[in-house]
A and B are shown apart, each in its own frame.
Chain A
Amino acid sequence: MQPILDVENLVKEFPFKGDKKNGVPRAIDDISFQVFEGEALGLVGESGSGKSTTARCILHLLKPTSGKVSFQGSNVLEMNKNELKSFRKDAQIVFQDPYSSLDPRMKVGDIIGEGIEIHNPKISKQELRNEVIEMMELVGLRPDHFNRYPRAFSGGERQRIGIARALAVKPKLLICDEPVASLDVSIQAQILNLLQKMKEELGLTILFIAHDLATVRHLCTRIAVMESGKIREIGDRSQIYENPQHPYTQSLIAIVPEPDPISERARLVERKLSKLKEQP
């Protein structure tokens, strides 16, 4: 299989003024991974581990300090204005916070249609409207939502708007930056199912960022575990879940709750016991 996205030795430093005795802090510390066409790769790690920075560097919303990001064979970081614009059509992002990611002064229809308009400025008003409504129906919004403002919607619906906006330009790669982390658990499942459906129907490649392994278990076939700017472990879902190699992965597995309340209680007791044993 051909990798659609190839990240090589990516480094992002955030330099600051003042004391540099301990070196410049690295948000991403030399990471490399590949995303293959049609797969969903989960990128998991605690907050501050550099997941979102990785997403922004891949999309060239942030300029990495060094390294290489190849999308379908061409280097994203060396693209000129036109190449970058067509790359923006092929790679899209859904953000974590569905509140600040939608312009409060724009109608839902205009938000979703913006990308279509940017990449096809000559499109007629009627055609644009049709495409937007098609998109809205695809993600489970009603066509009469077209003329409403984002403040009229709940978190889950707003996230659907965000997904529709990203998918409206028909991207090949969708980066989801913790799209369900700020939603209720019941809504989380709805959004995850929607993403799964989109992946199957549109043949999307997804890079799914999450801070726990429970969220990505369902959607992702391969998982990368990130900690303090480094990728600690990368592998198939079964390998990560059943035979985690790195201690950080093991600790992430340990905090995944069991769906069954009885075995969950037993698991918690066992964890406490093993912690007590560790203490002298």
Chain B
Amino acid sequence: MQMAKFVWSHKLVSISIAILVLVVSSAIFLSLLAPFDPYAINVKMANMPPGTPSVDGSGTHWLGTDALGRDLLSRIMLGSRVSLSVGVVSVILSGTLGTFIGLIAGYYRGVIDTVMMRIVDLQMSIPSLLAALLVLYVLGPSFMNVVLVLAITRWMIYARVTRGLTLSLREELFIESARALGSSDKRIMIRHLIPNLAAPILVLATLDLAIVMLTEASLSFLGLGIQPPNTSWGLMISEGREYLRSSWWLVAMPGFAILFTTLSVNIIATWFRAKTVKSNAQRVTIPKVASK
């Protein structure tokens, strides 16, 4: 009953959650859910439009087949594995690194702060896709390299946001009273600062997940991301580009997969942010009474 109420009052959010659950479960339970073997090649069935029945009559290629006759739906499900894991792992890496650096810089101020923030400024001034391309060109494309490059090009936003929040939090009276109780710096950071930073950082990470997934798609599209026979959504679009005139579904279907997934993530992030802002608003601070 409560769930039905939630779904009714948050239709868009519910749809987004459903889409994400679908994408995540198809990535995890690929062998159970995929209608065909995503690696099975059948050249006779190349570039068949959506809805074509399979050659042995056992099923239907609902989203059509690619240039090698592989089932497109199964390929998209295979691609979701890479797209999701690249996104999640690099967001966790960059989020942890950025939050840590921002926390240290904001809490201790001084020289550490200045040096760290100038490094952030410096890296902010370089277009991240360009930097990623350059690094991947030198290091060579591989799953781990893509994750690392995406993490290293995205940590600054976490550092900036965390530092800003820490600067205002450290002036709060509850931090001063923790210090008066004899808390060490480490304790203040772990027990007081991080719990208060968690909600905004989580919102940022969710939004960033969509951006990272798109960047991964761009890198794979440009040929410096994931390499065949493994696949990701970006790589599928890149491969389908040659047949765009005759077989539009090769580009459109993975494109829709990227669109709906990132859109869902964004909608959930926005909803979550609105929710946490509401609970923060209850923390009203009454103005200091004028002493006269």
A12 at the interface (CB under 8 A from B): no
Out of B182, B191, B289, which one reaches A88, CB within 8 Å?
B182
Docked CA distance A59–B173 (Å)? 14
**Interface: B196 (CB within 8 A):** yes
The yes or no answer to B9 lying at the interface (CB within 8 A) is: no
Contacts A89-B182, A95-B177, A165-B177: A182 and B286 contacting too (C-beta < 8 A)? yes
- A residues within 8 A CB of B286? 97, 99, 155, 182
Q: Interface centre among A46, A100, A151, A211, by most B CB within 10 Å? A: A100
Inter-chain CA distance A189–B290, complex, in Å, is 19
Within 8 A of A (CB), among B183-232: 183, 187, 191-192, 195-196, 198
A102 with B174: CB separation less than 8 A: yes
Q: B176 to chain A: which residues have CB within 8 Å?
A: 61, 95, 101
Interface residues of B in 249-292 (CB under 8 A from A): 282-286, 288-292
Interface contact A118-B174, CB-CB below 8 Å: no
* Chain A minimum-CB-distance residue to B290: A47
Distance of A99 Cα from B180 Cα, bound (Å): 17
Which residues on the A side are within 8 Å of B172 (C-beta)?
100
How many A residues are at the interface, by size bracket? 35 or more
Tell me whether B195 and A105 are in contact (CB under 8 A).
yes
Chain B contacts of A211 at CB under 8 A?
291-292
CA distance A214 to B1 in the complex (A): 57
B179 contacts the other chain (CB 8 A): yes
Q: Contacts A105-B195, A114-B191, A211-B291 hold; do A99 and B283 have CB atoms under 8 A apart?
A: yes
Query: In the docked arrangement, what's the CA distance between A212 and B285, Å?
Result: 23
Answer yes or no: A92 CB below 8 A from chain B CBs: yes
Of all chain A residues, which has the CB nearest B174?
A103
User: Is the CB–CB distance between A182 and B181 below 8 Å?
Assistant: no
Residues in B neighbouring A104, C-beta threshold 8 A: 196, 283
The 6 closest A-B pairs by CB, nearest first: A211-B291, A88-B182, A101-B173, A47-B291, A105-B195, A115-B181
Q: What are 10 inter-chain pairs, A to B, with CB distance below 8 A?
A: A59-B180, A99-B285, A101-B173, A103-B196, A105-B196, A105-B198, A114-B191, A115-B181, A182-B286, A182-B288
